[in-house]
Amino acid sequence: MAATRAIEQKPAEKQDIPDKAVDAAKAAPRRRPRAWRWADIGEFAGSAASALLLTWLIFDRFLPFRIQGVAFVVAWYVLTLPIYWLVVRDGHGPVTARDRLASLLITTGAAVALSPIFLVVGYVTVRGLGVIDFSFLAETMELTGPLSEADDGGLLHSLIGTLEQLGIATLIAVPLGVLTAVYLSEISGPLARPTRLVADAMTALPSIVAGLFVYSIVVIRTGWGFSGFAGSLALTILMLPTVTIAAEQVLRVVPGSLREAALALGSPYWRSVLLVVLPTARAGLATAVILGMARVVGETAPVLLTVGGTNVLNVNPFSDYQDNIPLFVFNQIRSSKETFVERAWGGALLLLVLVLILFVLARLAGGAGPGGGRSRRRKGAAK
Amino acid sequence: MSTQETEKETETTTATMTTTATMPVQPAGGTLRGVGVSAWFGARRVLEGVNIDMRAGVVTALIGPSGCGKSTFLRILNRMHELVPIASLAGSVLLDGDDIYGTALPITEVRRRIGMVFQKPNPFPAMTIGDNVMAGLKLTGRKAANREQLIEESLRRAGLWNEVRNRLSAPAGGLSGGQQQRLCIARSLAVRPDVLLMDEPCSALDPTSTRRIEETIHELKDQVTIVIVTHNMQQAQRVSQHCAFFLAAEDEPGRVVEQGATEHIFGSPEDPRTADYVNGRFG
């Protein structure tokens, strides 16, 4: 390592000597002490390569039986660790070696945790991309039978259903959830403790139970029958605790000094919450709302019992059967026909895209600072 | 006219309260009077029998070592003390003769008329600079007749106008600490308070910003009654005309040991403890 550094510095020094002192400062080589150098990458690549060959030697030549696949990769990884440690210790000393080894292990952990997400998203994308086109979004399954091609039919009815049910559930759950959060963090009355306890417990409420509850009360008891609205109610039950808990945590982060500043100006408490606390927590509240929406957009069990499921477009969420995308996926994937299964993967991909859009919206809504797009629009509206 | 001359003249005005043609105009602002003020946090008594008159046109400084109750006293003066759930108090605080803890004055009106600037600058981060100045009106549910004019006037009084005039719609969080503190002063001034309480307004600021704030205090002195808590002896000498020295013995509530004209407290204090403190021998 010392040799490498000397070589790197030499040409720069040669340049410096003839220059004047003023230029020398300018021409001094810029160093980034923490940057990876090719030698470091070489050390790791060499260790990995030698471990690979060693593993191959053991598995292919020495062992009397064949172990393949996962075991090979695991053995390769396990062998890489000591080799890499020895190589780095030789060049940089034991402290650096231990540091590098720890970095390698931790990076591996992060990579392993990330890989399922990429695998799931990647697999769904590959399976679903073939079916998704404009007609998939613009048609329903009304006229599609077992003999139709895979690119016939679509999930317009499910998409409309999902958007309407999610929209209604959000409209009900967000005001209730944010108000509850304001109660918990700002008023903190005698009901705060039990409310927080119940909200915490409700996040673990099995979604099928929420569905059953709405099914027995709204669908059966009132005689309303299956409807998108009944589904919205079931989703609301699931969404409410998520929104409440996330919003409360966000409100708690708002510094108490801002509340004091507002009160010291002569503000009534409710105005200080409305005009100072909530706007300050705006970004976090947007995230809380989106978290709640993302929590329920893929729920299947509760809507199965309340929405009913249909192949026909029904834009009215307040009466008659509706469909939604998780239900569409559930119904299609059970079919023995390959064309139906393909459509199910298309629906799954669309669901992923929907969640992605929700998260992007959350970031955009939360990211706009004061004086940015949102507040300027607000000012314009006030005039 | 130098600042010192102004101070002397103002003092004579308020001291004699006589009107002659040569005297400057009557200073604006309210008179605040603490009568027998005691305070508790739970069972612990932190303040006992404090009587201080804070007159218009006079900057009153509250000095004393940490934990002697001067910030608590300041927070009692605009009913911020009761925001702590276990806090209680005795005695009364009179604003132009009316008890601010009585039924005649609603709490929001008390706080509007007695503004407060805090130790740490706390502009509203979700608002622009201009919106921060207007926040007090919005929060008290009132409309400004002329928004731009009030913003400019308040920022000018706080000595910040020239630095921010071209970026009123920028977020307040982008200002430096000293600018943020002056923005907080402008925000307090926009609701036209009679009294302005300042709780160590310069303790988080650099010397240059501190000087700007002190200049601001000088300029505001005749428009609004100012009460300032400070740990900085030189600052108390520079900005105040009246001074109260708080002290708390161990396990005892804080009391006012001595009060009077600032030059008297710093020049020829009567109590030896005051002399020790202002000369830097403890605290």
Q: Does A285 touch chain B (CB under 8 A)?
A: no
- A316 and A248, same structural domain? yes
Q: Tell if the CB–CB gap between B171 and A371 is shorter than 8 Å.
A: yes
- A47 and A190, same structural domain? no
* Residues in chain B within 8 Å Cβ distance of A375: 126-128, 131
Distances in whole angstroms, Cα of residue B151 to Cα of each of B106, B131, B140, B170, B182: 26, 9, 16, 14, 13
In Å, how far is B109's CA from the nearest CA of chain A? 6
Locus of tokens 């719609």? B169
In Å, how far is A181's CA from the nearest CA of chain B? 19
**Residue A373 belongs to some domain of the structure:** no
Q: Tell if the CB–CB gap between A266 and B125 is shorter than 8 Å.
A: no
- A269 and A242, same structural domain? yes
Domain span holding position B157:
27-278
Q: Which of B136, B170, B172 sits opposite A265 (nearest CB)?
A: B136
- A363 and A231, same structural domain? yes
pLDDT of B112 reads 93
> What are the residues whose beta carbons fall under 8 Å from the beta carbon of A11, sequence distance 6 or more?
none
Q: Which of B78, B115, B139 sits opposite A262 (nearest CB)?
A: B139
Helix, strand counts (H, E) of chain A: 18, 0
The total of structural domains in chain B comes to: 1
**Residue B12 belongs to some domain of the structure:** no
* CATH, residue B205: 3.40.50.300
Burial of A311 (0-12, 13-18, 19+ CB in 10 A): middle
- A206 and A174, same structural domain? yes
- A310 and A172, same structural domain? yes
Name the closest residue on chain A to residue B197, using Cα atoms.
A264
Q: Does A280 touch chain B (CB under 8 A)?
A: yes
> What are the residues whose beta carbons fall under 8 Å from the beta carbon of A184, sequence distance 6 or more?
A192, A195, A196, A244, A248, A251
* Residues in chain A within 8 Å Cβ distance of B170: 371
- A349 and A271, same structural domain? yes
Domain span holding position A7:
1-28
Q: Extract the tokens encoding A239.
A: 């969404």
pLDDT of A122 reads 94
Round to whole Å and give the CA distance between B269 and A327: 84
Q: B227, B200 in Cβ contact below 8 A?
A: no
Q: Tell if the CB–CB gap between A376 and B139 is shorter than 8 Å.
A: no
Q: Which of B111, B124, B188 sits opposite A263 (nearest CB)?
A: B111
Q: Please name every residue paired with B242 in a beta bridge, in sequence order, or none if there are none.
A: B60, B261
- A345 and A222, same structural domain? yes
For the sheet with B114-117, list strands across it: B114-117, B195-199, B225-229, B59-63, B242-247, B255-261
Round to whole Å and give the CA distance between A131 and A138: 13
The total of structural domains in chain A comes to: 3
Round to whole Å and give the CA distance between B15 and B11: 6
Q: Does A258 touch chain B (CB under 8 A)?
A: yes
Q: A229, A318 in Cβ contact below 8 A?
A: yes
- A198-215 core/surface letters (b: 16 or more CB in 10 A; e: else): ebeebeeeebbebbbbbb
- A50 and A17, same structural domain? no
- A212 and A78, same structural domain? no
Q: Tell if the CB–CB gap between A267 and B140 is shorter than 8 Å.
A: yes
* CATH, residue A254: 1.10.3720.10
Q: Which of A268, A280, A371 sits opposite B124 (nearest CB)?
A: A280
- A105 and A170, same structural domain? no
* Residues in chain A within 8 Å Cβ distance of B146: none
Q: Does A263 touch chain B (CB under 8 A)?
A: yes
- Full pLDDT tens readout for chain A, 383 residues: 444 444 444 444 444 445 555 555 567 888 777 777 888 889 999 999 999 999 989 888 887 777 677 888 899 999 999 999 999 999 889 999 999 999 999 999 999 999 999 999 999 999 988 888 888 888 888 877 777 777 778 889 999 999 999 999 999 999 999 999 999 999 888 999 999 999 999 988 999 999 999 999 999 999 888 999 999 999 999 999 999 999 999 999 999 999 999 999 999 999 999 999 999 998 889 889 988 998 899 899 999 999 988 888 888 999 889 999 999 999 989 988 888 898 899 999 999 999 888 888 877 766 655 544 444 333 333 33
The residue among A72, A105, A121 that closes a domain is A121
* Residues in chain A within 8 Å Cβ distance of B118: 257, 260-261, 264
**Residue B236 belongs to some domain of the structure:** yes
The residue among A75, A106, A121 that closes a domain is A121
pLDDT of A10 reads 45
- A203 and A263, same structural domain? yes
B159: left (phi over 0), alpha (psi -120 to 50) or beta: left
pLDDT of A28 reads 82
ipTM of the complex: 0.85
**Residue B161 belongs to some domain of the structure:** yes
